Amino acid sequence: MPRVSLGDGNMLPAVGLGLYYTPPGAVAQDIVREALRLGYRHLDTAGFYENEADVGRAVRESGIPREQIHITSKVWPEAEGRWVEDGFAAVLDAVNASVAALGTRADLYLIHWPVNPDQRIEYWLALEEAQRLGLARSIGVSNFGVAHLQQLIDSPRTSVVELHPFLRKDEIEAFCAARGIRLIAYSPLARALRLDHPSLEAAAARHGVSTAQALVLVRWSVQHGYVPLPKSVRSERVAQNVDVFGFELSAQEMAALDALDERLFTEWEEWGQLDPTALP
């Protein structure tokens, strides 16, 4: 599995396994175990997903040296529905809870969601403290728009957003490119909502992967320099989705896919209606 730079000296496997909506317990453990067996070395979980303990367990039981596996997790103190008084303490608590659940530190911790403006900087400072304390190797943000990123004075090196041909993020991409921020793409398959699009079918057929338009989407992401996190709970799909390093999309195919943007937010749908300059 090729690796890319995170911009802070650390490296990241170029494709990861997304674990949002992967049910906790046996399902999560089995699919992580299978992904590791298939060669995945990058797992993307979050406190909010409630499967951190399963990820930690499957990693331990895999027998693969821990340092060969990259784990991303995310903290989001408000996700429990409580009002956060002291944002700094809440984020450090959330990181500690995450480390306890995983049974190991995560390699990359992210602020899961751009919380209210008054706390955004406090949250970021707490993540920096977590990094100083050795609880996080790298840190970054998730679901941040340009306006949110600007508030952090160019600090993050890594940013995760929903990103696929049907939901381009030109503004965020330009902002991140200018500052060396690595973009990680969640829902790179657009939740499988557009796999029958003719441009995808055509590219898939030309590359002999006609049964897996999903592969074209993952490859599109890799060729853009994003780090896609395709999610599946089925082992045959998990195997398929990472098999993207044996073919290359032509400039023409990339351009055809680039032109498909339709503001298709598969997550947080309502964002499509909101101010696009402030939200991812």
Q: Hey, which residues are catalytic here?
A: 49
The minimum distance between CB 212 and ligand A2P, in angstroms, equals 5
Q: Does 241 help bind ligand A2P (rule: CB under 6 A)?
A: yes
Count, residues near ligand A2P per rule CB under 6 A: 18
Q: Nearest to residue 144, comparing CAs of 122, 188, 175, 165?
A: 175
Query: Which amino acid would we find at residue 216?
Result: V
Contact indicator for 154, 127 with CB cutoff of 8 Å: no
Using CB under 6 A as the binding rule, whether residue 187 contacts ligand A2P is answered as yes
Report in angstroms how near the CB of residue 103 gets to ligand A2P at its nearest: 25
Q: Which is nearer to ligand A2P, 98 or 187 (CB)?
A: 187
Q: Is residue 188 near ligand A2P by the rule CB under 6 A?
A: yes
When the beta carbons of 105 and 112 are compared against ligand A2P, the nearer one is: 112
Q: Measure Cα distances from 235 to 22, 35, 40, 215 in Å.
A: 13, 7, 12, 15
CA atoms of 263 and 178, how far apart (whole Å): 23
| Shortest spacing between CB 9 and ligand A2P, in angstroms | 28
- The C-alpha angle with vertex 18 and arms to 272 and 138, in degrees rounded to 5, equals 95
Is there binding between residue 214 and ligand A2P (CB under 6 A)? yes
Closest approach of ligand A2P to the CB of residue 22, in Å: 8
Looking at the DSSP bridge assignments, the partners of residue 185 are 161, 228
Can residue 23 be called a binding residue for ligand A2P (CB under 6 A)? no
Q: Is 232 in the site for ligand A2P (CB under 6 A)?
A: yes
- Least spacing, CB of residue 132 vs ligand A2P, in Å: 33
* Residue of 33, 137, 179, 191 that binds ligand A2P (CB under 6 A): 191
- Nearest-angstrom CA–CA distance, 138 and 153: 17
Is residue 33 part of the contact set for ligand A2P (CB under 6 A)?
no
Q: Which residue's CB is nearer to ligand A2P, number 45 or number 232?
A: 232
Residues 6+ apart with CB under 8 A from 271: 265, 279, 280
Helix pair angle (251-258, 198-206), 10° resolution: 160
Per the CB < 8 A criterion, the answer to whether 151 and 120 are in contact is yes
SS3 184: strand
Q: In whole angstroms, what separates CA 137 from the centre of its chain?
A: 16
Residue nearer to ligand A2P on the CB measure, 117 or 272: 272
Q: Should residue 237 be labelled a site residue for ligand A2P when binding is judged by CB under 6 A?
A: yes
Is-contact 140 156, C-beta < 8 A? yes
Q: Give the number of residues written for the chain.
A: 280
197 is in an annotated binding site: no
Q: Does residue 190 interact with ligand A2P by CB under 6 A?
A: yes
Q: Which is nearer to ligand A2P, 73 or 240 (CB)?
A: 240
Annotated binding site for substrate: 112
Task: Give contact residues for ligand A2P (rule: CB under 6 A).
Answer: 18, 187-192, 195, 212, 214, 230-234, 237, 240-241
